[in-house]
Structure 1
Amino acid sequence: MDLECMEKINHYCQINKLSLLYDTAAMTGPSHDPEFTIVVKLNDVEYGTGTGKSKKEAKRVAAKKTWEMIEKQSPSSMGAAESATTQTISSPEPDRDYVSLLNIFAQRTRLQVDYPERTRTGDAHAPIFSCSCTISGQVYGRGTGSTVAAAKQAAAKQAFEKVETEKSNGNSILSIHSDSSEVPTQSDSNSISFEDSAPMLVEKMKDMAVCEKLSPSQRNAQSSALKSKRKLAANFPNVRKEEENKNMSDSDESLPDVDTNTRKGNGNPHTVDKTFLGNFKNIEPIGEGGFGNVFKATSKCDKTTYAIKRVEFTKNVRREAEGLARLTHENIVRYHCSWKGYDHITSRDASLNSDKTTRCLFIQMEFCEKGTLEKWIGENREHQNYHEMAQNKFLQIMKGVEYIHSEKLIHRDLKPPNIFISHDDKIKIGDFGLVTPVAYETLTKNIGTKSYMAPEQFGDRYGKEVDIYALGLIWFEILSALTNHEKNEVWPSVREGHFPKSFTNQFPPKASIIKKMLSTDPSKRPSATRILDLVKSVDKEKSLKNHTC
């Protein structure tokens, strides 16, 4: 809404030939926690004033107040500005998610699609973002937009159209870089053809499963599994509500074949799913819970070890695969593919286990060798450089969450057991089973892990601020490095923003930021971007002090 006000003011000034200035009137507070005051001036006449923890936040507040003043003064000009704004800002076509289309293209052809160049130009109140799209290192598209997401979609669209053109001319990147068996054709009713229109592609994608291509011998061994009709795990926001309202009782014929022998009979005690058994070896369980089971398994095709999550297939279970499929960031667990099948879901409670097979979704993801953040804290709390390492880990977590929020998603279940560490010591945020779009007006109550849930999350109206609250608790947990017993004693007070005196004395600036992150008023919690700026500012001040001592 505030951004819309800024756009309307811009057009109002253009129509009425007025000069527009966002003047910084004041900056108060300490350097690590400043407060800005911005005044909007039209032809040097002061209008709305706004304050905020960043200039951007203060500008938005000032713009909103200014537009309210303009509405009262000049309804006709306001209407003209709204009309101009409507004409200028056009929403992308809902049935053309080119980023997702290229993700599927990359998975099917084993080519890498990336968006390496991202720049920002223009005024602070009306930025223009630019983005490039590369396929296997070659630039295939460039795009601009009023947001990073819009620029990315524009670049993806150009790249997608170039691939279509190359394919029709017979010199496609498909034939240069991949085996002809990888190229989807129109004759395959369950495949993606780049000659199809985007709406047709979306419809085809809704009826496919994303699965890596097999060698000829593997294909023969699993022909019945590959011939069957499948569902796709990519995320298309425009069809999400329709998908969730669908009757999920597909016929058994639409699912891969199931090994009806017992688990011991097929040589593996953990699964009877033929796709799982045919594509992977060395299948070992590494986690289980109410969500299902997680396995460590090695691909027979590329010899790489992956994490395979097996969950009972319900109308909402696609959410995790959809969320992961649209996210590409170095601090987020990488999604590879998913498929449907019948298998056993095992539980810690042996009495709940049976030989009955259940309809399941399998999600193939990056395997993080070093385990969870929870494990890392326990193993490193006594290290002499622990706090320096901990700060680095938290910055990576923040960058991952900033990206999730930039994609208009909320994680809703951030906690140390859901944050992983890769072989190269990088943070990887995972477990997207509760991810949901920010745009949802009413959300599910009591969703998340209660000890990390924000107060408003116990109701049905909340936003991405619930992730900020959880991050405040995680930051406290990383810095304090408490044992489970110590944590249980102080946790209720910490949730209310009351920290042990020793913690406040040891980390005064950081304790102040964490307190804001744990505010009971969601609107007072800083954004992920703002937190990153504050943390960097605190670290810079500390570095300068150490240098001068």
Structure 2
Amino acid sequence: MDSMNYVGKLKEYADQERVTVNYEDIGSDGPDHIRSFTIRAVVNGDAYPEGVGSNKREAKKNAAKNAWMSLMKQSVDSSKTENEKKSTHYVSWLYLFAQKSKLVVKAVESLNVGAVFSSQMCYFVVGDKEYPHASGKTKKEAKEEAARLVYVEMFGSESMDVSGALKHHSSREDLHGRMDQNSRYSLLRKEYDLKEALGRGHFGFVYKAKHKLEGKDCALKIVQARREVKVLSDLNHCNIVRYYTCWIEDSAPQWDGSTESSSSAQSSSDLPVLYLYIHMQLCDTKTLRAWIDEKNKQDPKKSLRDPKRREESLTIALQLVNGVEYIHSMTLIHRDLKPANILFDLNGGVKIGDFGLVTAEIEDDAENQKDRSEYKGTPSYMAPEQKSRTPYTYKVDIFALGLIYFELLWNLPTFHERKEVSFHNFNQMVKSMLCVQPKDRPEASKLKADLEKWKRDLEQLKTMERDSRTL
């Protein structure tokens, strides 16, 4: 008998991939004493083979098993396809080659406007040498072709795969020098003491560390994605987690929930993975999600009637919308605002974190428009247009803010209750934030002005009440 919990496995998969899982009751068949039930699992809108059982629980388990097995097969097939393509990822090869060779690499991109059509142009400067120019229909295509031309000029052909080129590079000491074989997370070991594992997510993990030279504690985030650090390096705001510096290594400490392991985590593919280390501001381990849950447990019936919670929630909401206003002013969309991604600094100030899904608000960029139509984010905090996979704007962040502010004030312990409750009895601001049409949602600047006014009114009311008690 198969004892694996496929329902749990499927839920874990959905949480990791940030997709939805639903079970459809197809019906039952046969006389009562030998009745069979049929249930189908639907993952992110895709239906999988039906599960049959002598009761609904067994049918659900079999449906989950069929879906999970199908998804795992798709994942394996997809991995095979990606591995077959890796040998043509010249951009990845070039940056790794430069990093191993201690060379500076720079991509120079431009737009070539012609009489009939326009094309994207790109060329690379590696060290002090400029390589041939390339063109393409998109920036990505032009950049890949430019990297291929660098490869061809260095090695004289395209026949060698990129992993072979990396091995070949190690013998070219006269041109590029030898890579230090003991450099695995070398900067980490030299400059930081890992103290405590704080947490991990889909995109990486975070340690509490001490910078040896400064003697100060910090957060050290280790990820494979690069989008986040590019954004963080441009952001400087009191309500956004502060970024200090970053560097790249070809390996990372093995995550085991502690700091005792000294082994390294490496890619099993032919092309090694580069790990991005981000030195960031250290925040409290308690997130806004924990703050809300703690308040709900203290007195489940009080909620909005609790003046202290209302005042604290107003202060948090004001800082939160202040940070979102700044993000939007930088023509960016966060796309994953939720209580679990809202942190507090060591003085209690609100800090927006986790920019792993951030994207630019650029209307005339075809690649960016495609990115802004993909199903990315946390489903329970997505705006309607975000779920429908149609191009969306920064107003998706306003919708998420509305849900967060709603949770700040009201005790809704489950997503089901949050989804089913009627909004018509609540204040106009939250209703406006949760409008189905993005154009009907207010700007962050308008929300900020309203919250500041309410805060002033609340402080004035408290002063009047205090004065009346002294008369």
C-alpha displacement of 1:339: 1.2
Q: Which residue of 1 aligns with 2:213?
A: 301
Provide the rounded CA distance (Å) in 1 between the counterparts of 2:181 and 2:396.
41
Provide the rounded CA distance (Å) in 2 between the counterparts of 1:435 and 1:481.
29
Within the candidate set 327, 330, 345, 2:238 is matched to 330
Q: Which residue of 2 aligns with 1:228?
A: 102
Whether the 8 Å CA contact 2:198–2:285 is kept in 1: the answer is no
Provide the rounded CA distance (Å) in 2 between the counterparts of 1:467 and 1:244.
31
Amino acid at match of 2:398: I
Provide the rounded CA distance (Å) in 2 between the counterparts of 1:369 and 1:322.
24
Amino acid at match of 1:373: L
Q: Would you say 1:530 and 2:459 are equivalent positions?
A: no
**Closer, same or farther in 2 for the Cα pair 1:362/1:491, shift >3 Å?**
same
**Closer, same or farther in 2 for the Cα pair 1:279/1:517, shift >3 Å?**
same
Q: Would you say 1:478 and 2:408 are equivalent positions?
A: yes
Within the candidate set 268, 277, 281, 1:366 is matched to 281
The 5 Å alignment of 1:300-449 reads 300-312=212-224, 317-344=225-252, 356-357=266-267, 358-381=273-296, 382=298, 385-439=308-362, 440-442=368-370, 443-449=372-378
Whether the 8 Å CA contact 1:369–1:422 is kept in 2: the answer is yes
Q: Which residue of 2 aligns with 1:79?
A: none
Provide the rounded CA distance (Å) in 1 between the counterparts of 2:290 and 2:100.
39
Within the candidate set 499, 507, 512, 2:428 is matched to 512
The 5 Å alignment of 1:232-251 reads 242=139, 246-247=143-144, 251=166
Whether the 8 Å CA contact 1:468–1:528 is kept in 2: the answer is yes
Q: Which residue of 2 aligns with 1:454?
A: 383
Cα deviation 1:475-521 (Å, max 9, x = unaligned):
01111144xxx333312235xxx23x8xx4xxx4xx32111101110
Aligned alpha-carbon RMSD (Å): 3.8
Instruction: Give me the TM-score of the superposition, normalised by structure 2.
Output: 0.54
Provide the rounded CA distance (Å) in 1 between the counterparts of 2:196 and 2:121.
36
**Closer, same or farther in 2 for the Cα pair 1:470/1:246, shift >3 Å?**
same
Q: Which residue of 2 aligns with 1:276?
A: 188
C-alpha displacement of 1:378: 2.9
Provide the rounded CA distance (Å) in 2 between the counterparts of 1:435 and 1:489.
27
Aligned residues: 293
**Closer, same or farther in 2 for the Cα pair 1:259/1:322, shift >3 Å?**
same
Whether the 8 Å CA contact 1:258–1:341 is kept in 2: the answer is no
**Closer, same or farther in 2 for the Cα pair 1:298/1:522, shift >3 Å?**
same
Amino acid at match of 1:455: P
C-alpha displacement of 1:256: 7.7
Amino acid at match of 2:417: V
Amino acid at match of 2:209: A
C-alpha displacement of 1:369: 2.6
The 5 Å alignment of 1:202-217 reads none
User: Identity across aligned pairs (percent)?
Assistant: 33
Cα deviation 1:372-411 (Å, max 9, x = unaligned):
1112223345397222112101100010000111111111
**Closer, same or farther in 2 for the Cα pair 1:419/1:256, shift >3 Å?**
farther
Provide the rounded CA distance (Å) in 2 between the counterparts of 1:421 and 1:256.
41
Amino acid at match of 1:286: L
Q: Which residue of 2 aligns with 1:190?
A: none
Q: Which residue of 2 aligns with 1:488?
A: 415
**Closer, same or farther in 2 for the Cα pair 1:280/1:517, shift >3 Å?**
same
Provide the rounded CA distance (Å) in 1 between the counterparts of 2:450 and 2:443.
11
**Closer, same or farther in 2 for the Cα pair 1:524/1:406, shift >3 Å?**
same
Helix, strand or coil for the counterpart of 1:286? strand
Whether the 8 Å CA contact 1:257–1:274 is kept in 2: the answer is no
**Closer, same or farther in 2 for the Cα pair 1:420/1:356, shift >3 Å?**
same
Helix, strand or coil for the counterpart of 2:408? helix
Helix, strand or coil for the counterpart of 1:333? coil
C-alpha displacement of 1:302: 0.8
Amino acid at match of 1:322: K
Q: Which residue of 1 aligns with 2:66?
A: none
C-alpha displacement of 1:535: 2.1
Amino acid at match of 2:204: G
C-alpha displacement of 1:258: 6.1
Provide the rounded CA distance (Å) in 2 between the counterparts of 1:463 and 1:446.
13
C-alpha displacement of 1:285: 1.8
Helix, strand or coil for the counterpart of 1:331? coil
Whether the 8 Å CA contact 2:194–2:207 is kept in 1: the answer is no
Helix, strand or coil for the counterpart of 2:274? strand
C-alpha displacement of 1:242: 4.3
Provide the rounded CA distance (Å) in 2 between the counterparts of 1:535 and 1:436.
27
Q: Which runs of 5 or more residues in structure 2 are unaligned?
A: 1-93, 111-119, 123-137, 148-161, 171-175, 258-262, 268-272, 300-305, 363-367
Helix, strand or coil for the counterpart of 1:531? helix
C-alpha displacement of 1:296: 1.2
The 5 Å alignment of 1:42-121 reads none
Provide the rounded CA distance (Å) in 2 between the counterparts of 1:244 and 1:421.
41
Q: Which residue of 2 aligns with 1:468?
A: 398
Helix, strand or coil for the counterpart of 2:376? coil
Provide the rounded CA distance (Å) in 2 between the counterparts of 1:348 and 1:452.
30
Amino acid at match of 2:337: L
Provide the rounded CA distance (Å) in 1 between the counterparts of 2:229 and 2:277.
9
